[in-house]
Amino acid sequence: MPMTPSTIELPVTADDYRIARYAAAAIALTVAEAALPSPLPGIKPGLANIIVLVVLVRYGWRDAAWVSLLRVVAGSLVIGQFLAPGFFLALAGALCSLGVLALAQHLPSRLFGPVSISVLAAFAHIGGQLALARAWLVPHDGVFYLLPLFATAALFFGAINGLVAARLLAIPVATTAAAPPTTEAGS
Amino acid sequence: MKDRFPDGLRELLEQATAAGHPPWRTLLLPGDWLLLLAASVLVAASYPLLWRGGVADRAIVKRDGQLVTELALNVARKYEVTGAIGTTVIEVQPGRARVLSAPGPRQYCVQQGWLTRANAVAICAPNHVTLQLAGRGGRNNAYDTLNY
């Protein structure tokens, strides 16, 4: 298909390609997850966090933050939630869990694997969401009645996601992961 | 279907479904077990801690807004209160209370059934009688089932 050559050239680094690839994977999981029914608003597996974990362990916190925030913004655009309350809750959760990830990545890796990091991040996620919900959406302590349910879900899904991430990380990193795609049209 | 996935996800899926993985339990390090155990205890403890507030321990019966009696919710009994148009019968059982019968024409407070949570209210308006449950904690007393 003929395309007008772009007059603006943005330099794209291998880092950008790598982040974009992982962010795309995380967004795909977000969209797939949005189709799953949930017993309670806010209780979701959070599958995209598997990707964030893998990126954190492989490439560090900066890349993980990029993937996580791109996932929140672009994922909400795709499922039509951008700037809706759910978007801000997701953003609050993502920011909180990124804060915890920044600390948790310094845990001694001989003792603590991805499962620990995942569970801690999951708790931070519900913590951030509940704090924002209490401050903004439901200004009453009644929201904390839901805390045990959310905490149970966070523990369960955090552990599962951590196990999946640990399994993915146990595989040696693919050599193609950082290479820019070669079949890009119109670039 | 798989072709439509983004590259990154397809790559991860291929890695995840490839053969020759170590068993799942080897993915959990000692610290992980410890953290999972501690987190489970904390989560289990959060249930009684955060859900205790709703337990009711006494029923408050009022007529024209004036306190008539307080009934402890630990013994089963019936209590009759005479209101504006007749007699309302309150029934108490361990942990719950209800309006057993009321002289009102529409019987709303009777049909409300058993009240079990603190701050739940049944109002027999025609007879000017209310039945309200109260809990221990004293928290959230500004909220009842009316402005819920």
- Evaluate whether A44 touches A36 at the Cβ level (below 8 Å): yes
pLDDT at A72: 95
| Residue type at position A143 | V
pLDDT in tens, B63-78: 998 999 998 888 899 9
Mean of pLDDT values over B3-16: 73
Q: Which residue has the higher pLDDT, A59 or A171?
A: A59
Interface test with A, best of B1, B17, B26, B29 (most A CBs within 10 A): B29
Q: Which residue has the higher pLDDT, A135 or B137?
A: A135
In CATH terms, the fold of domain B55-135 is: mini-chromosome maintenance (MCM) complex, domain 2 (2.60.320)
Give the nearest partner residue to B35 out of A54, A110, A119, using CB atoms.
A119
Mean of pLDDT values over A47-67: 95
Take residue A58 and report the two structure tokens written for it. Answer: 């492989």
Does A183 have pLDDT greater than 90? no
pLDDT at A71: 95
3-state secondary structure A7-42: CCCCCCCHHHHHHHHHHHHHHHHHHHHHCCCCCCCC
Band (B53; pLDDT cuts 50, 70, 90): low
Minimum distance, in Å, between the CA of residue B95 and any CA atom of chain A: 20
pLDDT at A187: 38
A47 found inside a domain: yes
Structural domain of residue A37, as residue ranges?
A: 15-169
% pLDDT > 70, chain A: 90
pLDDT in tens, B101-140: 999 899 999 999 998 888 889 999 999 999 998 876 555 5
How many domains is chain A built from?
1
Q: Do A170 and B27 touch (CB under 8 A)?
A: yes
Mean of pLDDT values over B3-24: 72
Band (A177; pLDDT cuts 50, 70, 90): very low
Band (B6; pLDDT cuts 50, 70, 90): confident
Strands ordered across the beta sheet of B129-135: B66-72, B56-63, B129-135, B121-124
The residue with tokens 């890009």 is A184
pLDDT in tens, A85-131: 989 999 999 999 999 999 999 999 889 999 999 999 999 999 999 99
Q: Do B18 and A162 touch (CB under 8 A)?
A: no
Q: Give CA–CA dist A170/A175, Å, rounded.
A: 15
Take residue A71 and report the two structure tokens written for it. Answer: 């996932």
A119 found inside a domain: yes
Minimum distance, in Å, between the CA of residue B133 and any CA atom of chain A: 18
Minimum distance, in Å, between the CA of residue B47 and any CA atom of chain A: 6
A68 found inside a domain: yes
pLDDT at A9: 81
What Cα–Cα distance (Å) separates residue A129 from each residue in A96, A122, B84?
9, 11, 50
Domain ranges of chain B: 2-52, 55-135
pLDDT at B142: 57
Contacts of B16 in chain A (CB under 8 A): 164, 167-168
Mean of pLDDT values over A141-161: 90
Mean of pLDDT values over A132-145: 85
Band (B79; pLDDT cuts 50, 70, 90): very high
Q: Do B139 and A164 touch (CB under 8 A)?
A: no
pLDDT in tens, B29-52: 999 999 999 999 999 998 887 776
Residues in contact with A88: Cβ distance below 8 Å, sequence separation at least 6, in sequence order: A132, A136
Does A176 have pLDDT greater than 50? no
CATH number at residue A159: 1.10.1760.20
What's the ipTM? 0.81
Contacts of B40 in chain A (CB under 8 A): 155
